């Protein structure tokens, strides 16, 4: 059974960079697409971006200037970096898997809360 687990600091200061890692277990990261999705407290889901195991990426236009998603196949992990954060970036961050570029997210991590505050 594939499992995803997000990890990273729960508190980030304004203007700094948010960094999260998603570790995939129970299956290989190779051959699949992997995404980051976030959810501000009490609000809906926002798609951040997607990476293929080979490293090709697609990002949300609204976040593209600040987002970098990378993959480390040797560790079965992929990562999110979001620069110049503000309070509006406070959210529950989820990682998820897709079988193809245009496919549903069939496996999700439990989510990790990141708060942006000084």
Partner 1 sequence: AIRMTQSPSSFSASTGDRVTITCRASQGISNYLAWYQQIPGKAPKLLIYAASTLQSGVPSRFSGSGTGTDFTLTISCLQSEDFATYYCQQYYTYPHTFGQGTTLDIK
Reduced to 3 states, what is the DSSP secondary structure of residue 88? helix
Binding mask 45-84 vs partner 1 (x if CB under 8 A, - otherwise)?
xxx-xx-------xxxxx----------------------
Question: Minimum CB separation from partner 1 for residue 74, in Å?
Answer: 26
- What single DSSP character describes residue 48? E
Q: Is 42 left (phi over 0), alpha (psi -120 to 50) or beta?
A: left
Name the one range near partner 1 by CB under 8 A: 14-22, 24-32, 66-74, 107-115. 107-115
- Cα pseudo-dihedral 73, 5, 40, 56, rounded to 10: 10
Binding partner 1 by CB under 8 A: which of 109, 116, 117, 118?
A: 109
Q: Could you tell me which residues are beta bridge partners of residue 30?
A: none
Q: Which residues contribute to the site for partner 1 (CB under 8 A)?
A: 35, 44-47, 49-50, 58-62, 94, 98, 102-106, 108-111
């Amino acid at each position: 059974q594939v499992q995803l687990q997000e990890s990273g600091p729960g508190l980030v200061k304004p203007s700094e960079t948010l960094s999260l890692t998603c570790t995939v277990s129970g299956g290989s990261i190779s051959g699949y697409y992997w995404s980051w999705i976030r959810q501000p407290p009490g609000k809906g889901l926002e798609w951040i971006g997607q990476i293929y195991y080979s490293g090709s990426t697609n990002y949300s236009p609204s976040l593209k200037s600040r987002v970098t998603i990378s993959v480390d196949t040797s560790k079965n992990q992929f990562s999110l970096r979001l620069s110049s954060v503000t309070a509006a970036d406070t959210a529950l961050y989820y990682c998820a898997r897709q079988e193809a570029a245009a496919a549903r997210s069939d496996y999700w991590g439990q989510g990790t809360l990141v708060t942006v505050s000084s």
